[in-house]
Amino acid sequence: MAEPLEGSQPNDSADPRTTSADPPTTSADPPPAIAELIERQQSEAEAEWVAGWLAGPTRLRWESLPVQVGDPAPDLALLDMKGKRVLLSDFWAAGPTVLLFLRQFGCSCLAERWDKLRDEVPDFRAAGAQLIAVGQGEPERSAATALRRGYPFPVLSDPERRAYAAYGLLQGTPAQLVHDFFWRPGDMTSAQDLFLTPRRGTERAVVDDPWQLPGEFVIDRAGTIRLAHRYQYCEDFPPRTVLLGAIAAASEEG
C-alpha cells in the first residue's frame, strides 16, 4: 500500500506558574528506571492506539450540551509532570489561562500546531496569559515529550480523558482526522504499513486514542470560559488574533 503524499497523508492518525507543574529545564537523559517505565508506557499506549484504530471512533455525539462561553470551566484534579496532583483552578486563579487539549503525541497535526504556537506563545504571555496543556500521556511520558520538544508550558496528564470529556471534546471521524485516506474497521495492514512500522521510535510514533479531537479554551481568573474552540478537523487551529481577543476579554475580569 502506498503512503499518501506529504501534505495529504494521514495526520495522526493521518500529527501554577512556578510549581512542580513547570516544564522540565534540563536535557539530561532520565534515570534507567524512569526510561524503562517510559518505554513500557509507550508500548502500552501504542497498543491502545492499535485497538482504537481497528475499532474506529465511538464518541461522535454529545449526550448533553457541552460547556460553552460564559459557563464555569470544569475544574478537575490531574497529575503534573512530576506526578503531583493539581487542580486546573490552581492555574486560572493566577490570571487568564489558555488551556490546550492536545492530540496524541505522535500526531502530525500536533507537531504543526506547535510550529505555530512557538511563535505565538510570547504574544500570549505579553497579553497576560499563561498556557497549560492537557495530554493523554502519563506524567513520565508527558515530561519526556515536553522536554524533547521544548514545550514552554506544563503538560498535565489525562490518560483516561476525563478532562477531555468534561470540556466536551469528542472523537473525530476518519474524514476529520485522516482526510483522503480510506479507513476501514479492522484494517491492520494500513495500521502496520502507514503508522506503526515507519513511525515507531520517532517523534511521530502513534500512541493513545487515535480519534480524540483537541480543543483550546481561554479561561479568566474567575473560572469563566471566554473562548471554547473545539477542533472540527485535525488542523483546525484557532487564529492567533482570536486567542488574543479572548485573552483581552478574560483580562477584564477583576
Question: What CATH number corresponds to the domain at position 246?
Answer: 3.40.30.10
Quick check: 164 and 101 in contact, CB under 8 A? yes
Domain assignment present for residue 19? The answer is no
Domain assignment present for residue 156? The answer is yes
Q: Could you tell me the pLDDT band of residue 23, with boundaries at 50, 70 and 90?
A: low
pLDDT above 50 (res 2)? no
Domain assignment present for residue 134? The answer is yes
pLDDT above 60 (res 105)? yes
Quick check: 39 and 167 in contact, CB under 8 A? no
Distances (CA, A) of 118 to 24, 27, 58, 154, 199: 16, 18, 33, 14, 24
Domain assignment present for residue 226? The answer is yes
What residues make up the domain containing 75?
32-57+69-251
Percent of the chain with pLDDT over 90: 85
Q: Could you tell me the pLDDT band of residue 4, with boundaries at 50, 70 and 90?
A: very low
pLDDT above 50 (res 25)? no
Q: Domain tally for the chain?
A: 1
Domain assignment present for residue 128? The answer is yes
Quick one: pLDDT at residue 24?
47
Q: How far apart are CA 169 and CA 184, in angstroms?
A: 23
Domain assignment present for residue 26? The answer is no
Domain assignment present for residue 217? The answer is yes
Query: Order of strands, edge to edge, in the sheet holding 155-157?
Result: 85-87, 77-79, 155-157, 130-135, 97-101, 215-219, 225-230
Distances (CA, A) of 248 to 70, 147, 154: 15, 30, 22
